Amino acid sequence: MAEPTYHDHARDLNRELRAAIPKERLTDLHQRRPWRHFWIALRQVALLVGLPVWIYHVDSFWAWFPASVLLGFVIFSFSVLLHEAVHRCIFRKNHRLNNFLGLVYGWISGLAFSQFKRWHLDHHDHLGSSHADPKRAHLSPRINSPWFKLLYCTPMLFPIYFRAVAETFKGYPEHLCRQIKRERTVGIVLHLGILTWFWTIDPWFAFKAHLFPVFFIFPIAFTVNRLGQHYVINPDEIANWTTLMRANWMWNFLYLFSTYHLEHHYFPGVPFYNLRKLQKELEPFFQRKQMILFSYSQVLYLWFIKNHAPHTQSDIMI
């Protein structure tokens, strides 16, 4: 018997969700405001350019190290902007620039737009399936042990991720695989070019402004963000197949509102800058469902200290 997926039950859940929010308010939350997207995107570009300049001009560890850490999170944040392009949440109507922006955001964050689009939309379509959801089937830890989970916070994330992607390639049409390879090649050339440029300036600068943020901070940003998605859930309640995360201004800034992953699955067409407002509208719904709010410190504690198994409910009250 096939596993039930999110869409098998979505009709009843969607009816409940739409009844929980006034129609006019829900329509407003779905409004795309391109200026808001580009304001945030330009801020991230300014950080992407400005942080290496700062790192170059300072010598103190206490000056360059925080900037390098922030730079790693900024690079990761472009995958969130890419995510907005995948769901067409940038412009009010279909726009020819949407896919171009997706390509650029993907190259900066080290992802191929076409691969991420197929991977992510398959994830939405098959949420709840242990084999058809690519995130769950190929990227979740295969060994439930703290030492193995910690590998995701190290440069080992890259071979783990690309192995997961390679496994999904088997089911993709040939033309899509070729497109993904072309996009990935451009991204690799871009990052190698930046690294080479920085290296010619100064190898130590190249480490601080590229190697360290990309290979040591990006994996941490990726892993922590992912822990707030589908690892602490209630398998018996479809409304809670995603982790309900507590609002926090710092994570809103670092992760560009992608902390609200549950709300995103409910309404994928809501732009990221409206997800916090959406969560507030849904608070009575969460209370009726007796859903528990988690912070990142709590999910990290469950994940690494209590060795919580992925995609299961926690019986530990924090």
Q: Following CA atoms 292, 295, 299, 302 in sequence, which dihedral angle do they give, to the nearest 10 degrees?
A: -80
Q: What pLDDT was estimated at residue 234?
A: 94
DSSP assigned state of 26: H
Distance between CA atoms of 86 and 109, rounded to whole angstroms?
A: 14
- What are the residue ranges spanned by the domains of the chain? 6-305
Q: Provide the pLDDT for residue 93.
A: 86
Cα separation, 167 vs 111, whole angstroms: 16
Q: What are phi and psi of 232, to 5 degrees?
A: -115, 100
Q: What is the pLDDT of residue 285?
A: 98
Q: Could you report the per-residue pLDDT of 190-219, keeping only the tens digit for each? A: 999 999 999 999 999 999 999 999 999 999
Residue 6 pLDDT exceeds 90: no
As a 3-state breakdown, the chain gives helix, strand, coil percent values, each rounded to 5, of: 70, 0, 30
pLDDT digits (tens, 9 = 90+) for 50-108: 999 999 999 999 999 999 999 999 999 999 999 999 999 999 888 899 999 999 999 99
The pLDDT tens digits of the residues spanning 72-82 come to 999 999 999 99
pLDDT score at 175: 96
pLDDT band for position 161 (cuts 50, 70, 90) = very high
Over residues 246-305, the pLDDT tens digits come to 999 999 999 999 999 999 999 999 999 999 999 999 999 999 999 999 999 999 999 999
Q: Partners of 312 in the beta sheet?
A: 232
Quote the pLDDT of residue 306.
Answer: 95
Q: What is the mean pLDDT of residues 5-31?
A: 90
φ/ψ of 87, rounded to 5, equals -90, 5
Rounded to whole angstroms, the Cα distance separating 169 from 77 reads: 25
Nearest of 105, 101, 125 to residue 34 by alpha carbon: 101
- The CA distances from residue 212 to 40, 43, 54, 226, in Å, are 24, 22, 15, 20
Q: Cα separation of 172 and 166, whole Å?
A: 10
pLDDT of residue 314: 84
Dist CA 213 CA 78 (whole Å) = 14
